[in-house]
Copies of this chain bind each other. A is one copy, B any other.
Amino acid sequence: MPSTLLKLSCPDRVGLLSRLSGFVAEHRGNLVEVHQFTDPQAGWFFARLAIDTATLGIGITELRAAFAPIGQELDAEWTLRSETVPMRVALLVSRQSHCLADLLWRWRSGELPCAIPFVLSNHDDLRALVEREGLEFRHLPMDAGRQEAAWAEMAQMFHASGVDLIVLARYMQIVPPALCAEFHGRIINIHHSFLPSFVGANPYQRAYERGVKLIGATCHYATAELDAGPIVDQEVIRVEHHHTAEELVRLGRDCERLALARSVRGHLADRVLMHGNKTVVFRD
């Protein structure tokens, strides 16, 4: 049974959950799953309500219209979506295939309910991997001198395809601040280290040199400040002295795949709420 999802964050005040559940009850909706969190330091309220769509005596457009005045009154950021309309997700990759291959398999198997209008890369290497899934592959080189034009072209593509989410599945280019700002909270990046350790390039080599006993990966929303955006998920794996830097790369790939897949899945289900530089994640 498909759900209708209300995701909301707003300044905290007394009676918020009663107000929201009351709204749903008014429209005869049956609550399937409710998550609520109040951040006492920030004084902020976060909620996700999953409503059995079949029980609602009203369509999604009308429901949105009915909720709009409440959202305004509460000074809330909110979305009301039907699960039956999947998000549209653009995947961006460079030359490494492990995250892409994993996402594609999970998408194919139904673990990632979304539409993928295209996969975009600054290299042509992964074309076959994409096209054999019946998906469109777009090659957009990022040669020195034409980067600005390329980013503009890319933004165009996002607009034209009505993209809801951009996944940087090991896309080795730094997203310009303007694009980060426009798609604030809608660009997911996988960083190949356990942030905030080893920010930037070559984290596995640096982890090897530091002699750490655990390596990891971090999935976060891209923001203008490199590798400093809100963290969605992290994953670690134990390593030993005998692992070379190359072997850390190999082991790290499994961390990256798991952290990214879980984060994308959470975002697609409206389970990730951003506030300032942190996230609230209502795990499934």
Contacts and interface: CB of A to CB of B under 8 A. Distances in A.
Contact of A14 (B55, B195, B232): B55
A9 B212 CA distance: 20
A130 to B, nearest CB: 12
Contacts of A198: 196
A22 B17 CA distance: 9
Contacts of A21: 15, 17-18, 21
A33 B12 CA distance: 12
A113 interface: no
Main secondary structure of the interface of A (DSSP, over half): mixed
A123 to B, nearest CB: 16
Interface string A240-274: 11101001001000100010000000000000000
A284 to B, nearest CB: 8
How many of chain A's residues touch chain B, expressed as a range? 35 or more
Interface in A4-45: 14-18, 21-22, 24-25, 28, 30-34, 36-41
A231 interface: yes
A101 interface: yes
Contact of A236 (B16, B36, B102, B236): B236
Contacts of A97: 105, 109
Contact of A18 (B22, B232, B280): B22
A234 B239 CA distance: 10
B254 A231 contact: no
Contact of A281 (B16, B34, B241): B241
Interface in A72-116: 97-98, 101-102, 105, 109, 111
A214 interface: yes
A242 B33 contact: yes
Given A32-B38, A212-B231, A213-B233, A279 B25 contact: no
A197 interface: yes
A157 B274 CA distance: 52
Residue in A55, A210, A216 whose Cβ sees the most chain B Cβ within 10 Å: A210
Contacts of A37: 33, 241-242
